[in-house]
Amino acid sequence: MNIITISILSLAIIGAVAALILYIIAQRFKVEEDPRIDEVEKTLPGANCGGCGKAGCRNFAESCVKATSLEGMLCPVGGNKVMQQIATILGKEAHEAEARVAVVRCNGSCQHRPNTNIYEGAANCAIVHSLYAGSTGCAYGCLGCGDCVSVCSLGAISINPETHLPEVDIDICGGCGACSRACPRNIIEVRKKGAKGRGVYVSCVNKDKGGVARKACEVACIGCGKCAKECKFDAITIANNLSYIDSDKCKMCRKCVDVCPTGAILAVNFPPKKVVETHTPQSTEQPLQVDNN
């Protein structure tokens, strides 16, 4: 009995003394912080993706609290909803920013872009890119090793096992741009997210001359310029044998999609089109195929 009392007592005393020391030290070295930082941080998604340009969510919260105005501050993942909440917490005015989404501008699946050699080495796009043009004839297109996948902290991007191309889940993607920075070939672009996730874009970044590009890949942009002529909104520019659609100017009329001779321009998330005005079979098939994905 005595032993039990002594052990309980001594343990209790040790515990009390340790607690006291901890308390004193915690008080002594307490760091004064604006409590609002914690509050703001709680509303953030906590993915620490760095898409806001800050070193993680905590850092973003600190800058939000410090900043005089929230203009230009955007958590791309949380979007306007989260920014509105932050504005309420801080008593500042929220600034609407348009939603953005990552777009993979390569459609060179194994079917469209046959392999010309076999790559054996570390499965890392940056390594392949610095070694050579890749296992297909296209020196610009996707290498399919998934550097973009490994940097996405939200799991919004994944490699399709059939096409070996990355696919973005537009419901999850916040447009932070981490994948775009990770891609050694600059294939992924962060573009304006249209209503219901709709978008029209050139799914190719090949700067080779038309013939060369086409030889490597069926669905390459050959820089013919038909799309630019068709566009009424000046949204399309042709440079370096390559067409580019400015997402800020594009009104999504999809005229360019129909005239593209190779099917390099994709229209995604539109409802299926009734096949009435058939131009070339390719030009209508292509977007439909993507719609289904």
Closest separation in Å from C-beta 133 to other proteins: 3
Residues in 101-120 at the binding interface with other proteins, rule: CB under 8 A: 115-120
Q: Decide: is 122 part of the binding site for other proteins (CB under 8 A).
A: yes
Cα–Cα distance for residue pair 94/73, rounded to 1 Å: 9
Nearer to other proteins by Cβ, of 116 and 282: the residue is 116
Residues 181-210, one symbol each (x = binds other proteins by CB under 8 A, - = not), give: ---------------------------x--
Q: Which residue has the tokens 């890749």?
A: 134
Q: What is the 3-state secondary structure (H, E, C) of 7-49?
A: HHHHHHHHHHHHHHHHHHHHHHCCCCCCHHHHHHHHHCCCCCC
Tell me the CA distances in angstroms from 129 to 103, 108, 121, 125, 150, one per residue in order: 20, 16, 12, 6, 17
Nearer to other proteins by Cβ, of 127 and 238: the residue is 127
- The single residue among 6, 17, 22, 131 that binds other proteins, judged by CB under 8 A, is 131
Q: Decide: is 146 part of the binding site for other proteins (CB under 8 A).
A: no
**Is residue 197 exposed (0-12), middle (13-18) or buried (19+ Cβ within 10 Å)?**
middle
Cα–Cα distance for residue pair 69/115, rounded to 1 Å: 52
Amino acid code (one letter) for 171: D
Cα–Cα distance for residue pair 120/140, rounded to 1 Å: 19
Q: Decide: is 134 part of the binding site for other proteins (CB under 8 A).
A: yes
**By CB under 8 A, which span of 11-19, 121-129, 263-271, 280-288 interacts with other proteins?**
121-129
| Number of residues lying near other proteins (CB under 8 A) | 20
Q: Decide: is 233 part of the binding site for other proteins (CB under 8 A).
A: no
Nearer to other proteins by Cβ, of 203 and 241: the residue is 241
Per the structure block, which two tokens stand in for 220?
A: 């390459």
Closest separation in Å from C-beta 73 to other proteins: 26
**Is residue 267 exposed (0-12), middle (13-18) or buried (19+ Cβ within 10 Å)?**
buried
Q: Decide: is 130 part of the binding site for other proteins (CB under 8 A).
A: yes
Chain residues that interact with other proteins, rule: CB under 8 A = 115-122, 124, 126-127, 130-135, 137, 139, 208
